[in-house]
Amino acid sequence: MVGAPKYGVLKKNFPHSLNQAPFIHFTPHSQLRLEVDKLLNLNKIIPNVVCEVDDFKLARLFIEKGSGVGYLPKDSILESLELKKLIQIGESKNIHADIWVVHTYSGKLSPYLSRLFAMAK
């Protein structure tokens, strides 16, 4: 779970601190939404969903701007964490998501895909 630095106070008492916190969520048809909802329901947490998106990058932008907190896969936020645009509020090892890649192979993988494939090994 990540947020802009102003949400650092939510680190204390995670995940219960997410109750009524402004939340950037994925649309209902998303596999990641189902996984995050399981975590929230298990802990009886009702976040204040301020918007729903179907794109990791769009979610990251909203979260970086301080519109709310949300769950994003680690590989999609490494740079934002390094640049201190985002902070990690908490972690759950029980959330899993499939990643689909469509790539036209031109002889060399992009740095992002190289890192993604290295993480999957």
Convert the pLDDT of each residue in 27-74 to its tens digit.
998 888 998 999 899 999 999 999 999 988 999 999 999 999 999 988
Residue 75, pLDDT score: 81
In order of 2, 11, 15, 63, 119, the CA distances from 91 in angstroms are 9, 10, 9, 16, 17
Q: Which helix (H) or strand (E) holds 37?
A: helix 31-42
Q: Residue 91: which pLDDT band, with cuts at 50, 70 and 90?
A: confident
For the chain, percent of residues with pLDDT exceeding 70: 85
Whether the full predicted model's pTM is greater than 0.85, yes or no, is: no
Domain ranges, ordered by start, for the chain: 2-120
Q: Which helix (H) or strand (E) holds 115?
A: helix 111-120
Residue 23, pLDDT score: 98
Fold that domain 2-120 belongs to in CATH: D-Maltodextrin-Binding Protein; domain 2 (3.40.190)
Instruction: Report yes or no: 100 and 32 within 8 Å, Cβ to Cβ.
Output: no
